[in-house]
Amino acid sequence: DTAVSQTPKYLVTQMGNDKSIKCEQNLGHDTMYWYKQDSKKFLKIMFSYNNKELIINETVPNRFSPKSPDKAHLNLHINSLELGDSAVYFCASSQLQTGRSSGNTIYFGEGSWLTVV
């Protein structure tokens, strides 16, 4: 069973469209994340939710809106897509918030390749 699963894996869409990426984790973790990996493979956190509550929002445009219906799901909705949004988006989860827990490991999904044309 896949621990962190996200869909779709590949998505090609036109500028101006609205799209969503769904993420589910079956690890029983309390914290979920969205990371963006750009064309140079640089990874940067976008959002973090702990038990459905937003705890990190890293200066991401308002066009990006995460939604967490329950602690096992964290979906990412993107409005008015722009060319610069083309990237790989990774969902991830951990038992606790990143950082101060020695047992805390972040588990990543397989990624969603978004191409805006």
Partner 1 sequence: AQSVTQLGSHVSVSEGALVLLRCNYSSSVPPYLFWYVQYPNQGLQLLLKYTTGATLVKGINGFEAEFKKSETSFHLTKPSAHMSDAAEYFCAVSGSDYKLSFGAGTTVTVRA
| Rounded CA separation 62/93 (Å) | 23
Whichever of 25 and 80 has its CB closer to partner 1, that residue is 25
Are 29 and 95 in contact, with CB atoms under 8 Å apart?
yes
- Applying the rule CB under 8 A, the residues between 1 and 60 that interact with partner 1 are 4, 40-45, 48, 55-56
Closest approach of partner 1 to the CB of residue 26, in Å: 15
Closest approach of partner 1 to the CB of residue 96, in Å: 10
| Rounded CA separation 45/36 (Å) | 6
Cis bond leading into 69, ω under 30°? no
The only residue of 34, 47, 49, 90 in contact with partner 1, by rule CB under 8 A: 90
Whichever of 54 and 79 has its CB closer to partner 1, that residue is 54
